Amino acid sequence: MTHAAGPPRPAAAIGRTRAISRFILKRIGLALLTLWLLSVLIFLGGHLLPGNVGRAMLGPFADQQAVDVLNHQMGTDRPLLVQYGDWVAGFLTGDLGDSYAYRAPVADFLGPALLNSAKLAAVAFVLVVPLGILGGVVAALYRGRPTDRILSVVGLSATVVPEFVSGILLILLFGVTLRWFPISATWDEGAGVLTQLYHLILPAIPLVLILFGYIARMTRAGMIEALEADYTRTAILKGQTYARVIWRHVLRNALLPTISVIATQTVYLIGGLVVIEILFHYQGIGSLIYTAAKKKDFPMLQAGVMSIGALFAVTTLLADLLYARLNPRIRFGDRE
């Protein structure tokens, strides 16, 4: 187990800074590469369609001539590379184009949808992080005993059940039978925060179930490692109470892996959002993308997926940097 090495010498300090900058740059570069690849994928996906953009907008019964005129007007008969360049330029300057299905700027729908999904994700996070950490801590404190094993199996089971399955069972139990919660997540215009929360609890639970296992497992591992560390034994020997030791030293170190897990699990969370928003009729980014895909509304689809990709890249980057900042190994210059 590592421990603080004391104030670094000047030469080592420069080396450390360089290592950190290299690390940061590498991470940022990776994020940018991911986004670029994503943009290519999305663009290709949208334009490999049998049938074309003009036809998709005007529908199957329009005159072919009208379709050709529209295609020319929209510039979709230009070479693919030119269209791609145009789209990227537009995206970077904030012009996301108009939706084919709604004949209105994509940005008008994207903003509110992202906000809605953020609310749902926030509720889920607020519920799962304390629960997961608690679960991990308890499992670690009782490690090896039945409580630990049970928590482990429960966590695993919750993680692997598809969101729509747990969602439907929850709807049936709490929404239809017990009538404790509404089965549609959409609230009326101008509803207050509490009403919104009320609508969001049921849809948030499947997300909580998916993430609980991961967070609990990481916390447990981190806790165990910390519990068996030198500094813990030192603190106990120094006479600090067990509870104080846990709170001061152990938890702090145990939470490190949890942060990175939260970042990586964001990916799965987004997939879950799509399914849950469909199931609970919620106007978030997930159902927006789904409807756009079904309607072949490419501007909407492309903008939606890109924004998710960007969000994910940023979240992972921040989480990585945060992890590096908090992890004494990286901070004090041990080479990765």
Partner 1 sequence: MKDDLRRLLRQPAFDIGLVIVLFWVACAIFGPWLVPHDPYADDLINTLMPPSAEHWFGTDQLGRDVFSRVIVGARDILTVAPLATLISTILGTALGLTMGYFGGWVDEVLGRIVDAVLALPTVIVALLALTALGTSMITVMVVIAFSFAPIIARTVRSAVLAERSLDYVAAAELRRESTFYILFVEILPNVLPPILVETTVRLGYAIFTVATLSFIGFGIQPPSPDWGLSISSNYGMIGGGFWWTVVFDSLAIASLVIGINLVADGIEGLRHD
Partner 2 sequence: MGLLNDPSVSILSIPSAAHQQVHMRTDMEPFKDKRVRQAIALCLDRPKLVQGLMKGKAQVGNDSPFMAAYPSTDPSVPQRQQDIAKAKELMAAAGMAGGFKTTLTTEKYLEIPEYAVLIQNAVKEIGGDITLNILDQGAYYGDAVPGKSPWLDSDMGITDYGHRGVPNVYLQAPLASTGTWNSAHFNNPEYDTLVKGYVAALDLESQRVTASKIQTLLLDETPVIFGYFYDFLTVTRQGVNGVVATAMGHLMLGQTSL
DSSP code, position 192: -
Query: By CB under 8 A, what part of segment 220-279 binds partner 2?
Result: none
> How far, in Å, CA of 305 to CA of 228, rounded?
44
Backbone angles phi, psi at 179, to 5 degrees: 55, 35
Least distance from C-beta 243 to partner 1, angstroms? 32
- Indicate the residue among 214 and 290 with the shorter CB distance to partner 2: 290
Cα 330 to Cα 120, 189, 243, 256, 315, distances in angstroms:
34, 49, 28, 12, 20
Answer for the pair 54, 71: CB distance below 8 angstroms, yes or no: yes
The correct pick among 226, 263, 279, 303 for binding partner 1 (CB under 8 A) is 279
Where does this chain touch partner 1 (CB under 8 A) — which range of 16-24, 68-76, 254-262, 271-279? 271-279
What is the residue-wise DSSP string for 52-66?
-HHHHHH-TTS-HHH
Dmax over CA atoms of the chain, in Å, equals 87
Size of the site for partner 1 (CB under 8 A): 52
Q: Name which of partner 2, partner 1, none residue 330 binds, using a CB cut-off of 5 to 8 Å depending on partner kind.
A: none
Cα 325 to Cα 258, 318, 328, distances in angstroms:
14, 10, 8
Q: Name which of partner 1, partner 2, none residue 182 binds, using a CB cut-off of 5 to 8 Å depending on partner kind.
A: none
Tokens 């308890």 sit at which residue? 138
The angle at the Cα of 176, spanning 173 to 181, to the nearest 5 degrees, equals 80
Q: Is 276 in the site for partner 1 (CB under 8 A)?
A: no
**CA torsion through residues 124, 126, 129, 132, sign:** negative
Where does this chain touch partner 2 (CB under 8 A) — which range of 5-13, 99-107, 293-301, 303-311? 293-301
Where does this chain touch partner 1 (CB under 8 A) — which range of 3-11, 37-45, 67-75, 245-253? 37-45
Side chain identity, residue 220: R
Query: By CB under 8 A, what part of segment 109-168 binds partner 1?
Result: 149, 153, 156-157, 159-166, 168
The correct pick among 183, 201, 227, 254 for binding partner 1 (CB under 8 A) is 183
The phi-psi region of residue 266 (left if phi > 0; otherwise alpha if psi is between -120 and 50; otherwise beta) is alpha
- Indicate the residue among 67 and 250 with the shorter CB distance to partner 2: 67
Query: By CB under 8 A, what part of segment 44-73 binds partner 2?
Result: 51, 55-56, 59-61, 64
Least distance from C-beta 64 to partner 2, angstroms? 8
> How far, in Å, CA of 128 to CA of 204, rounded?
9
The correct pick among 4, 11, 92, 176 for binding partner 1 (CB under 8 A) is 176
Question: What's the token pair of residue 133?
Answer: 């950490």
Size of the site for partner 2 (CB under 8 A): 10
Q: Name which of partner 1, partner 2, none residue 289 binds, using a CB cut-off of 5 to 8 Å depending on partner kind.
A: partner 1
> How far, in Å, CA of 299 to CA of 161, rounded?
33
Q: Is 75 in the site for partner 1 (CB under 8 A)?
A: no
Cα 117 to Cα 69, 99, 123, 161, 189, distances in angstroms:
38, 20, 10, 21, 17
* Interaction site with partner 2 (CB under 8 A): 51, 55-56, 59-61, 64, 294-296
* Interaction site with partner 1 (CB under 8 A): 30, 33-34, 37-38, 41-42, 44-46, 48-49, 149, 153, 156-157, 159-166, 168-169, 171-172, 176-177, 183, 267-268, 270-271, 274-275, 278-279, 289-290, 293-294, 296, 298, 301, 305, 308-309, 312-313, 316
